[in-house]
């Protein structure tokens, strides 16, 4: 991991902070830097750092290094291009079933790992599932991740708001089911603002979202989505159980069908839309030697 880097461009901007593309001076390595405002009373960034330091799995985005400087966290991570699943379907259209099955299995493997360590992600969505140039799938953004036993925690849960008694890590399975429909149809089943109200809507309808009937889907895919979107969370399968489902069990991590989609995106001359409000860091040299608090470096 380089300790000095040129920050090349802003590639992401949201309520959490900014993400920059950077290049290490010593190695020439490209990586991403997530810059998040942080004060001692801020729970979410602190918890995200603690979780990222503890987990290491091929389907979870892990940090290269984490630094704290002048009330900001700098989380250095592998640079994954083309990025989020949402980028892939918005530019190239709906995913094929074999691509969806591959994504589903990889995400389930990451979720099972989190569950085994006592965590639930709570923000599974297409924007938080990243694809790299090799077609590998990684879950990112652990800002809402919590302990499974903390079921009374009233923070938002993306696409699966199941607060209070009975709320469990299986909320991630519901969100995965919604994401599978989104990839298949290149859109969410319904648009909600805020998005976490989607579960409330469907529970009031006493029905689960369905795949669009205009296309012939395999029985195994329909069965998988139906299982993931089981309304009664106590009856909803866990990540470990869904990994045994026919739709995903024959997928192999070393044979990513997403490689072809990534190549198509690269050949389409797709450029990430840059923000006009470039943060001052984007034109500066970052020297991590001067950072007083090195929280983590991956060895």
Binding residues for ATP: 34
Q: Which of 103, 109, 107, 105 is nearest to 88 (CA)?
A: 103
Report H helices in the chain.
43-54, 85-92, 97-116, 171-185, 198-205, 219-228, 239-242, 258-267
Using the 8-state DSSP alphabet, how is residue 85 labeled?
Answer: H
CB-CB contact of 262 with 102 (8 Å): no
Q: Is 134 known to be catalytic? A: no
Residue 97 DSSP SS3 = helix
CB-CB contact of 77 with 167 (8 Å): no
Residue list, annotated binding site: 34
Residues 163, 208: Cα–Cα separation, whole Å: 18
71: Cα separation from own chain's centroid: 25
Among 42, 78, 116, 123, the one annotated catalytic? 123
CB-CB contact of 109 with 115 (8 Å): no
Q: Which residues are catalytic?
A: 123
């Amino acid at each position: 991991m380089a300790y000095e880097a040129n920050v090349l461009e802003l590639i992401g901007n949201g309520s959490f902070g900014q993400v920059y593309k950077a290049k290490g001076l010593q190695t020439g390595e490209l990586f991403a830097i997530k810059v998040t405002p942080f004060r001692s009373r801020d729970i979410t960034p602190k918890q995200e750092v603690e979780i990222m330091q503890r987990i290491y799995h091929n389907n979870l985005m892990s940090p290269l290094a984490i630094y704290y400087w002048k009330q900001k966290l700098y989380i250095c991570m592998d640079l994954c291009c083309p990025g989020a699943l949402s980028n892939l379907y918005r530019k190239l259209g709906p995913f094929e079933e074999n691509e969806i099955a591959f994504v589903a299995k990889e995400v389930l493997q990451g979720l099972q790992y989190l569950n085994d360590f006592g965590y639930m992600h709570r923000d599974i969505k297409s924007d938080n599932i990243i694809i790299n140039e090799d077609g590998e799938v990684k879950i990112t953004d652990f800002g809402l991740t919590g302990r499974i036993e903390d079921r009374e925690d009233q923070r938002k849960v993306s696409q699966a708001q199941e607060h209070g008694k009975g709320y469990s890590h299986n909320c991630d399975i519901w969100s995965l089911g919604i994401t599978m429909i989104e990839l298949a149809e290149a859109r969410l089943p319904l648009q909600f603002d805020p998005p976490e109200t989607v579960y409330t809507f469907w529970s009031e309808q006493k029905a689960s979202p369905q795949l669009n009937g205009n296309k012939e889907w395999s029985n195994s895919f329909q069965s998988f989505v139906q299982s993931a979107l089981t309304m009664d969370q106590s009856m909803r399968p866990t990540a470990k159980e869904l990994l045994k489902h026919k739709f995903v069990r024959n997928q192999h991590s070393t044979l990513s069908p997403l490689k072809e989609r990534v190549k198509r995106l690269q050949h389409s001359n797709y450029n990430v839309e840059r923000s006009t409000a470039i943060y001052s860091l984007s034109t500066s040299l970052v020297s991590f030697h001067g950072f007083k608090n090195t929280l983590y470096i991956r060895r």
